[in-house]
Amino acid sequence: MDRLFLGIADTNHYALIVVGNSFGEIICTGVGGSVNHRCWGLEQARFNLKNILAELGTAIRVKIAGVCFTYMRENEVARHEVLPVADGLVHEAALLHVEDFTTTGALGIHSPKERLFLMGDHLGLAILQSEGGQRCAVRHEELLENSLFREGCLLEWVKALDRLGEQGDFEALWAACNVSCHLVRLAGRLGRCFSRPDPVIGLSGSVLLGSQTIRQMVENMLSALYPQAEVIDAPLAPAKGAYLSSLFTRKRELRREVLTTFYDSACEVMKRGWLDFVIHNSPQAQGNRSQVVWTPLCIVPAAGV
């Protein structure tokens, strides 16, 4: 029986999920409710994890040999804190692991070249992984200053922004430009450290990928700054990195063919449009943060339907 490995990247508002096998092949991807007990409480975190595992199905769940959780820096969670969340839900034989979001974000971009992960969500985050293995990160604590945006209504906001922007609304275009400039400045701070002119820049986050207006502005500015750079959508990069990290706990070293399979598999997922489907259909927690909110899971197979 081939073992499977689960990567869960928690943004404090929702969780990105990637399942893959021991050969580096992605089996399925999805978006579910946050499993961060610090934000939502232990009961809600367990409820969301239970639903994530249930949606994966028994055929996948019984094969899971390792699970890696990764959390945003302001809510870093140690392994012993994850145990109560996963207790009785994850198979006892499965290895539980917690990895830093900076590590998984860079690791999950499917390119062997120098890569920069740029995330635009409730906050802005940029992570650079150099060819030599050095890693550094910068962040913008409050990408959106209005407190309403911190309460989980980002999807509605970006939809309205695009709709008004298409109508030429000045305030909407100004807001889009303001957010885009913040994100490009983050990338620029790390771009000074590029050792080659053709890095891969992966874009992620419900603001950056949820708004076509913001995404296009960011890509245009990045292309002007780094003409040879390859700009790609990387909505599941942290979860893919968590999957690889989980695989790494079982294998002392990742062989080149495993990483090659992972890169090829991730590219194939992109070609099939599954990642775009996930990011455009990813639900967000709505309403007040203090309320208990369940975000439904969307599981998408990585191979034919």
pLDDT confidence tier of residue 185, bands split at 50, 70 and 90 = very high
Q: Which residue has the higher pLDDT, 302 or 196?
A: 196
User: CA-CA distance, 86 to 136, in Å (whole number)?
Assistant: 30
| Beta-bridge partner residues of 138 | 126
- Mean pLDDT along residues 7-14: 90
Q: Which residue has the higher pLDDT, 228 or 121?
A: 228
pLDDT tens-digit map of 265-297: 555 555 444 344 344 444 433 333 323 233 344
pLDDT confidence tier of residue 159, bands split at 50, 70 and 90 = confident
Burial 33-70 (b: 16+ CB within 10 A, else e): bbbbbbbbeeebbbbbbbbbbebbeeebbebbbbbbbb
> Which pLDDT score, from 0 to 100, does residue 129 have?
87
> Which pLDDT score, from 0 to 100, does residue 224 have?
96
pLDDT confidence tier of residue 143, bands split at 50, 70 and 90 = low
Is pLDDT above 60 for 146? Answer: no
- 133 within 8 A of 114, measured Cβ to Cβ: no
> Which pLDDT score, from 0 to 100, does residue 256 have?
55
pLDDT tens-digit map of 116-139: 999 998 788 999 988 777 788 888
All structural domains of the chain: 4-100+236-301 (3.30.420.40), 111-233 (3.30.420.40)
pLDDT confidence tier of residue 255, bands split at 50, 70 and 90 = low
- Mean pLDDT along residues 205-213: 90
Q: Could you identify the residue written with the tokens 């874009």?
A: 203
Closest by CA position to 83, among listed 58, 49, 55: 49
CA dihedral 111→21→119→217, nearest 10 degrees, is 60
**Neighbouring C-beta atoms of residue 164, cutoff 10 Å:** 17
pLDDT confidence tier of residue 79, bands split at 50, 70 and 90 = confident
- Mean pLDDT along residues 89-108: 87
Count of alpha carbons within 13 Å of 213, Cβ hemisphere only?
A: 22
> Which pLDDT score, from 0 to 100, does residue 286 have?
37
Burial 85-116 (b: 16+ CB within 10 A, else e): bbeebbeeebebbbbebbbbbbbbbbbeebbb
Q: Which residue has the higher pLDDT, 47 or 78?
A: 47
Q: Which residue has the higher pLDDT, 254 or 23?
A: 23
